[in-house]
Structure 1
C-alpha cells in the first residue's frame, strides 16, 4: 500500500538522494512557512490545517510498496532506498494554533530538523495548510457579513475538487464560523453537525408538490425545511408550505424550527414576499433559508436589500474558494548549522517582496489592554521579548518616517508560535474542534471592523524587530557582495 510519504514532488526526493550521497542529509536547518498576500484581497488570513498536518507528520514513513515504486522509476539507488526504510520525523515544529488570525510575511510555522526531513515535509505540509487556511478564511468572510445569529451551512461537497478537499474543507469552514455541513463523512470524522433538506427530485417524485411536502413532514417532522421553488415559489411553494404548517399546528406537531429553502430566483424579493405570506398566515417565525451560488459578496448585497433570509447554504464559492482558488504560502530555509554554528540564510530576488527573512524567528502580537483589540505584530528573532512596562515604538525599516508610540502599561504581548513537536515527539495538546471554533471566534473579535471589510480593508501593522532588520541587512549585504 502506498503512503503519504509519496505525496510530494519528484524533486524533493531527488534532492534528498543527492544530499544523502553528499553527506548533507542530516545537516540541521530551519525552515519557515509563511505567505505574502492575504487571499481574497482581504485584511487577514485564518490559520487552519494544523490537526491534519500533525497526523501527517506522526505517520510519515515509506512502505515496501512506496520503495518498490521509487525503485521502478529508475531515479533512485538501492543505498538511498535502504535509508528511507527507517525514515521518520525526528525534529521540532512550532506553529500558530488553528483559528489564529494571521497576516502576510509572518512565520505561521517553523520547522527545525534535518535537511532531508524538511524537504520531504515541504510539499504535503504546504498543500494541507494552504488549502485549509484558504477555506477557513473564505468561511470567516461569509460569517462576518452574515452576522452572529444567522445559520451557515456548508453545501459544497459535490463541487469540491476531490474527496479530501470536500472533507477537510468542511472542517475548515467550521473553523471559519459555519454551523454545519451536508458532508456526512466530515460529520462522522470530525463530529460536525450535519444539515440539509431535500432536492428538487424529491418534489418531482410525487404527483403534487403538496403531497411531497406532506410525505416529507411525515418522515422528518423535526427537520421541516421545505424546498419551495420547484415550480412557482410564491403561487405554489409558499402556499403549500403554509398548508403543511397549518396541518401540523392543528395536530400539535409543528416543530420549533420550520420553514422553507429558496434555491433560485430573486432571493431578496422572494424572501420578503414569503415572509409577508407566512406572517399573514400566522407563522411569522418560519425560517427562510437560501442557497444558489452564494458567497460573502452576494449575502452582503441581499442583506442590504432587506432580505428575510436567516439561514444560508454556501457551496461552490466556498469549497473551491472560487474568487481566489489558491493560497500562495511558501516554505523557505531561514538558516542551517555549519560545524555546530547556526548560519542564517536568505532567499534573494529581484522582486523585493520575495526576499525572505533570515534566522530562527517568532511573532509577538501586541494587544490594547483595555479593548483587547490587536494593535500590531512584530516578527522577531527567537528569544526576543518586549517589556510591557516601557513605551513601544513601532516603525518599519522600509518606511522609517512612519511610526507609532504605544504607551507603557497600555498593551499586552503574546508569543504566537507554540511548540508542536520537539525532537520528534508530539508535545502539543490538540484541542477539540469545538475548542478550536471557540478560539477562532475569539480571535476574529480581536480585529477592529476596518480589518474585516470585504473591499479595501485596513492592513494590520506588521514589522520586523530592530534586531531582525539588522540581521537581514547584514545577510543581504554579504550575499550581494558576492556579485560585485
Structure 2
C-alpha cells in the first residue's frame, strides 16, 4: 500500500508475451499503444481523467528486483536468458496524454505509449488499473458535485468512503480521485497525509452511546474540540433530542467564545429533517452552523433532496463514491490497443464494429467556439481539421458531418514523458481539480446533465477513417486468402 507497484503487478500473459517477443527478436520493435474507453460511465456525457500522476510515477520507477526474478524462475515458464534480460529492464518510452483533470470522452486516445514492444506490453495492466479506477471515481465525484451545486443554497462534497472501498489501496486512490473530481476533503487520514487533502469528520453514534446521555456526549465532544465541533443528531431522536441538545451546546460554546461548526444527519428523510433543522438553527441565531448529511448518498439522492427543498450544506458521499457505484458504474471499460508496430499501422478487426481499434499515430484536437465553449473533438493523423473537412463517427462511418467555420483548435494532449522520464514537474492535485472545473465550465450545459445528456461528439478525420478502412480491408483480404 505504501510503495509503488511491483513489476509483477501485471497479468501473466504480459510476461509470457514479453518472453515470446524477446525470443523472436520483436521486443525492440517500436510499438504504439492507445488507452481509451468505449462507453461514457454512469450513462453521462463526459468523464474526468484522473490517475495520470501516479501512473507516471509508476513508469519512472518500475524495475524487476532480484526477488521478482527469483519468483519468476520458480514458475517453470521462463528461460534463463529472458530472466537475465529482465534484470536490466527499464521503461524508456514516450507517453502522450491528456493532463489530469481534463474532461474526456469515449473513443479518443486518452494516453498513448510509444516504446519498445516488450516495455509497452508490460505496463498495460498497471496503467489500466490505475487510470480506469481513478477516472471512474473522479467522474462520480464530479457528478455529485454538480448535483450539490445545483441547490440555490450551494453545496459541497466530501469523501467518506474508506470503510466501503475495495481495500486500502482502493480507499486511497478513491480519496485522491474524488478530490480531482471536486470533493473538498476526505475523512481518510492517510489520504490526507499522503496527498495533502483537507481532512473532515464528526463523531460516530458510538460516542453518544458511550456517555450517560446525549447531552453529556455533545458537551464532552465540544469541550475537546470547541472550534471544530460537528454533532451527530440521530442517535436517539433527531428533532426531539438531537437538535435541542445541539442548540444547548451551541449556546454554551458561544458563551465561551466559540461557535458550533455543524450538525450531521445520517438517517431519515434528509430533505424534511434538514428544512426543520435549518429553520431552528436560524431562529436560534446560528445561521452559520452547517448541516452535513451522509447515509448512502449519490448524485441522484442529492438531486432528490434538493428538489424537495432540502437545506444540506455538505454531503458526505461514501459507498457510492469510493466504489463508483450506481447505474453505469462499477468499472470503466478502458482498453489498451496496439495502433502501430515498427512503423506499420495495426488494428483489431472484429465482428462488432464498436470494438474496432483505430490504427496509426493519432492527434486529438479540441474545437472551441468564439464563446470559449467546447464543441467537439477530432482525431487526425496530422494537423487540425479545416473548415469543410468531413468527420465521421468512430463506430458508424455512415454518420458524418462537415467541420463548420469559426472554430479555434486546441491540441488536447501533451507529451508528459520522454525517455522514461517526466517532461515536467509533477502536477498538484489542486491543479488537476482546477482543470476539471475549468473544463466543465466550457462544456455545453446539456453535456453536464446527469440524465439523458447531450452527447459530445468525437469525430474521425478523413485521414484516420481512410487508414482504418485500408487496414481493415487488408486484414479481410488476408483472412479470406
TM-score (norm 1): 0.95
Q: 5+ unaligned residues in a row in structure 1: which ranges?
A: none
Instruction: Tell me which residue corresponds to 1:44.
Output: 46
Instruction: Tell me which residue corresponds to 1:284.
Output: 287
Instruction: Tell me which residue corresponds to 1:438.
Output: 434
Give yes or no for contact 2:145–2:156 (8 Å, CA) kept in 1.
no
Deviation at 1:472, TM superposition (A): 0.8
Give yes or no for contact 1:183–1:194 (8 Å, CA) kept in 2.
yes
Give yes or no for contact 2:59–2:420 (8 Å, CA) kept in 1.
no
Could you tell me how far apart the structure 2 residues matched to 1:442 and 1:237 are? 40
Q: 5+ unaligned residues in a row in structure 2: which ranges?
A: none
Q: How does 1:48-67 map to 2 (within 5 A)?
A: 48-67=50-69
Q: Residues 29-70 of structure 1, C-alpha deviation per residue, up to 9 Å, x if partnerless?
A: 110000000111111111111101011101100001100100
Instruction: Tell me which residue corresponds to 2:404.
Output: 406
Could you tell me how far apart the structure 1 residues matched to 2:161 and 2:316 are? 9
Question: Alpha carbons of 1:3 and 1:167: their partners in 2 closer, same or farther (altered >3 Å)?
Answer: closer
Could you tell me how far apart the structure 1 residues matched to 2:143 and 2:15 are? 38
Question: Alpha carbons of 1:315 and 1:2: their partners in 2 closer, same or farther (altered >3 Å)?
Answer: closer
Could you tell me how far apart the structure 1 residues matched to 2:259 and 2:474 are? 76
Question: Alpha carbons of 1:35 and 1:202: their partners in 2 closer, same or farther (altered >3 Å)?
Answer: same
Instruction: Tell me which residue corresponds to 1:298.
Output: 301
Mapped pair 1:474 → 2:458: no
Instruction: Tell me which residue corresponds to 1:186.
Output: 191
Q: How does 1:10-159 map to 2 (within 5 A)?
A: 10-147=12-149, 149-159=154-164
Instruction: Tell me which residue corresponds to 1:311.
Output: 314
Q: Paired residue for 1:417, among 389, 413, 418?
A: 413
Secondary structure class of the residue paired with 2:379: strand
Could you tell me how far apart the structure 1 residues matched to 2:250 and 2:62 are? 55
Q: Paired residue for 2:214, among 206, 209, 229?
A: 209
Mapped pair 1:225 → 2:230: yes
Give yes or no for contact 1:2–1:63 (8 Å, CA) kept in 2.
no
Deviation at 1:73, TM superposition (A): 1.1
Could you tell me how far apart the structure 1 residues matched to 2:33 and 2:296 are? 39
Deviation at 1:168, TM superposition (A): 1.3
Q: How does 1:290-369 map to 2 (within 5 A)?
A: 290-323=293-326, 324-337=329-342, 342-369=343-370
Question: Alpha carbons of 1:402 and 1:32: their partners in 2 closer, same or farther (altered >3 Å)?
Answer: closer
Deviation at 1:430, TM superposition (A): 2.2
Deviation at 1:395, TM superposition (A): 5.0
Secondary structure class of the residue paired with 2:384: coil
Instruction: Tell me which residue corresponds to 1:377.
Output: 377
Give yes or no for contact 1:50–1:129 (8 Å, CA) kept in 2.
yes
Mapped pair 1:264 → 2:262: no
Deviation at 1:405, TM superposition (A): 4.7
Could you tell me how far apart the structure 1 residues matched to 2:287 and 2:10 are? 55
Could you tell me how far apart the structure 1 residues matched to 2:402 and 2:462 are? 15
Q: How does 1:449-464 map to 2 (within 5 A)?
A: 449-464=445-460
Deviation at 1:78, TM superposition (A): 1.1
Q: Paired residue for 2:249, among 225, 237, 244?
A: 244
Give yes or no for contact 2:157–2:314 (8 Å, CA) kept in 1.
yes
